[in-house]
Amino acid sequence: MNIQKALTDLRKSDPRMGILIDEFGSPEFNPIDNYYESLVRSIVYQQLSGKAAATIYGRFKALFNSKSFPNPNEVMAIPHETLRSVGLSNQKATYILDLSDKWEKEEIDLSNVDEISDEEISVELIKVKGIGQWTADMFLMFTLVRPDVFPLGDLGIQKGFMGLNKMDRLPNPKEMETEAEQWRPYRTVAAWYLWKIVDGPFEW
């Protein structure tokens, strides 16, 4: 993604974005090559603060005597209760094992990821227990760095949108979708600035 072109386009399409760009600077998006690792991490991070999730994720990785991230077989070799012992909920441990099983069996096909649409990638990911549209959106944005993703279901995005528009209530998806049209084809970058409105640096 060409960040400078995205910033120029957003400034032209919405002057409010120009103010946010001046305030928060240019975002950095760094593609992640290990898709399996990224998805495990996203499951760990679901519905947790960044600090709590990072602690649990660190304990999870410490279960493996390796500097590199474990492969699916290595993860499946860890007993469910051991996964629970590092702070994972029962559901998240189940989700990680289901992801590992489907990944090992090649039931999730991301081999041609550069040739398929955001929607097709989401369909593949949602085959896994515990991966819904939010996780798929985060994968598209922060792992693949797809430029035009707008996670309508994210509470931070909803609050940022509310702040941007000085609303006294959370917006509904239709309102968000309609207004976000002006930010195409760089809604991923616009979303980053909405997060910044709410809580400063967005940790992912």
Question: Sign (positive/negative) of CA torsion 139, 143, 146, 150?
Answer: positive
**Which of these is catalytic: 101, 154, 168, 199?**
154
Q: Give the residue from 145, 152, 153, 143 showing the smallest Cα distance to 40.
A: 143
Q: Mark whether 118 is an active-site residue.
A: no
Distance separating alpha carbons of residues 172 and 75, to the nearest angstrom: 39
Q: How is residue 89 annotated by DSSP?
A: -
**Structure tokens belonging to residue 18:** 């120009």
C-alpha to C-alpha distances, 44 to 57, 147, 167, 187, nearest whole angstrom: 7, 24, 32, 25
Question: Sign (positive/negative) of CA torsion 129, 134, 138, 139?
Answer: positive
Helix spans in the chain (H): 3-13, 15-24, 35-45, 50-62, 72-76, 80-85, 90-104, 118-125, 133-138, 155-164, 173-180, 187-199
Q: Which residues are catalytic?
A: 154
